[in-house]
Structure 1
Amino acid sequence: MEKLDDISVLNERVFSVLTENELQVRFKDIYRRINDEHEYDESGHIAFLPLSRLNSRLERQECRDIISSVIESGCFTSGPYNAKVEETLSTYYGAHACIATSSGTDALIIALKSLGVSRGDEVIVPLNSFAATENAVMAVGAIPVFANIDASFNMLADEVVRLRTSRTKAVLPVCLYGSCRYIDVIYRIAREADIQVIVDAAQCFGIWSLMNYCDLLTLSFNPFKNIGSYGKSGAVLTQSPEHARMARQYSYHGFAQDKKNIKAQDWGLNSRMDNMQAATLSVKLRHFENNAKKRLSACSPLLSSAGSSVA
């Protein structure tokens, strides 16, 4: 609490009396005492998202140790950490199954295929998102139909009613910037219209209740997310045993589960999370809640000073 009180005092009392340079010195000193892991550029400013420093010393050492163990084991593509990560995520989200993938984009493609989305189908998506959203829809031959958003950058639920046609096969809302506004309403409207829902939760890992408002949920563990592996990886989660079976098949060349080279689907991707990424992710998952609390503690005083200018 003492460290946070330091920020509060600075935030409330000294802005009006210190020069800009003095403020920078104060901020630098406070943040050095809060976390000596920060990296500064040549101008003395805190570097923006330095990937090499987004992990604590303890996490980095644990990842070095676990990577060494994977190297020694020779289990580079598949191995015990894949199953461990899938079990951890399934338990956390209360899902029937988790299929660990090589990226969040592949997770979207696999989820769409698992729902039977194919050529000529329409999928309602928000008009502002990363290109992976529309690319995944087009990758399975479907047509992205763009829905309007509001000031929160979230898809408006009423757009599902306005844009729905006889070819609409799914709705794909994106929890952009960690916001999942309207997801419950979108799910209710889609359910009433017999339309399936995939939630792209790549930017809001940790909101386990989202599992209640979708047929499938996709995650990304890109290092820039609020939790990431030491490379690219993702996951598909579902409550449906049938969707889980299909997702697992599409994640590995369309092969029947546990029957390599026996095709169960017309095609499939080579998109399983490798054991090395799963190993590092297993470490990051252990530290997730503590890191989330540290981020909240660090940003809350700064955001509070912005007042109504921050949505």
Structure 2
Amino acid sequence: MRVEYNYLKQEFKNTKKIFSEWSKLIKSTDFTLGSYVDRFEEKFKNYIGSKYCISTNNGTDALILSLKSINVKKGDEVITVCNSFYASAGAIIACGAKPIFVDCDENFQMNINDLKKKITKKTKVIMPVHWGGASPDMRQIMRIANSKKIKVVEDACMGIGAKIGKKSPGTFGIVNAFSMHPLKSLNVMGDGGAIVTNDYQIYKWAKKYRNHGMLNRDKLDFWGVNIRLQPLQAIVAIEGLKKLEKVIKIRNYNSKILDEKLEKLYPNVILPPRNNQNKETFALYMALFKNRDKLKNFLIKKGIEVKIHYPVPLHLQKPAIKSGYKRGDFPIAEYQAKSLLTLPVHQYLKRKQLNYIINSIEKFYKKND
């Protein structure tokens, strides 16, 4: 049996509605910003629960735009986790600031105790990451940040469709970033991103900056860049929003099936604790597996496509080592990186495929115990 991790063929099997709207767009020649981008931003801010939305070319640009909108610059320190995708740190560097890494916890989220230790007089921003589509303890992070008068910018790139209690990721910080990469919960046919904020001044500045700093076609307010979302992708995102709740519901259902069976394999399999008050997107279904690399090879030979997110934490990447980080600095993240495995959990999986994943993992441990 074949179990694919990538589900985009199924996702875009029926493109009739998208192509119909693309045809209208082509006839209008409204190829730069325009009504479709405006429509997406309106729908997205309402879905997230924020006053303002500015769409961007991708999630990395969304992070950079968020940080620049609150004047993060050279000499500033931005605290973030060491077990994230490269863009989390790269966006900080792109603003001229210094990333200060903290360890993760058993949920693969920002370690609150380590966060408290890393705050200095130079700390300008705390940037928690909603890693894998789960969420860190945002309420505690906000209490810490507010007590120190530090701004919070959420990397909610994997958080579209999740909930922390009744609130969406990306509604706690002053300005927050999302991604619509093809394998995110809300995806487009390529790259796309967005930021949201309730601050009108941030909104006004960011909206101009993402469009060269233009006041209008003939006048420039300041030097900006072009990080606009393309109208073609805005159309795809609008269609995606229509089915997003169903997507999240199915992913949570699939994850529950995996959880119920895999938790019986402890200590060979260690699942992260689930917070019943929150809803995850399950952009990544991750757990710790004994003999991870052997299991990975075994599952791939069985036709089950699995991934590792990621085998090398950010602080052990070449540019971070050059800045002074070393092995042993973040023991939890380093331990997890050796055991983490990501299983398929997407909305197109059949029950027999889920059972096949589970049975294959059970067979592996029976054979190797």
Which of 83, 89, 92 in structure 2 is aligned with 1:134? 89
The match for 1:158 is 113
Q: Map 1:1-311 to 2 at 5 A.
A: 44-55=1-12, 57=14, 60-207=15-162, 208-256=167-215, 259-265=216-222, 267-307=223-263, 309=269, 310-311=271-272
Greater shift after overlay, 245-254 or 125-134? 245-254
Where in structure 2 are there 5+ consecutive unaligned residues? 273-369
- Residue type of the alignment partner of 2:240: K
**Aligned-partner Cα distance in 2 for 1:49–1:76:** 29
Q: SS in structure 2 opposite 1:174? A: coil
Q: Is the 8 A contact 1:77 1:276 kept in 2?
A: no
Q: Which has the higher helix share?
A: 1
**Aligned-partner Cα distance in 1 for 2:254–2:16:** 23
Alpha-carbon distance change, 288 to 55 in structure 1, aligned in 2, over 3 angstroms: farther
- Residue type of the alignment partner of 1:235: A
Q: TM-score, normalization: structure 1?
A: 0.80
- Residue type of the alignment partner of 1:286: K
Alpha-carbon distance change, 261 to 160 in structure 1, aligned in 2, over 3 angstroms: farther
Q: Give per-residue Cα distances to partners, 1:156-205, cap 9 Å, x unaligned.
A: 22333311222111111100011112122111101110110000111121
Q: Share of identical aligned residues, percent?
A: 31
Greater shift after overlay, 72-81 or 139-148? 72-81
**Aligned-partner Cα distance in 2 for 1:255–1:118:** 22
What is the CA distance between 1:56 and its match in structure 2?
5.6
**Aligned-partner Cα distance in 1 for 2:169–2:47:** 11
User: Radius of gyration: which is bigger?
Assistant: 1
RMSD: 1.7
Tell me the number of residue pairs that the alignment of Structure 1 and Structure 2 aligns: 263
Q: TM-score, normalization: structure 2?
A: 0.68
Q: Is the 8 A contact 2:130 2:158 kept in 1?
A: yes
What is the CA distance between 1:243 and its match in structure 2?
1.1
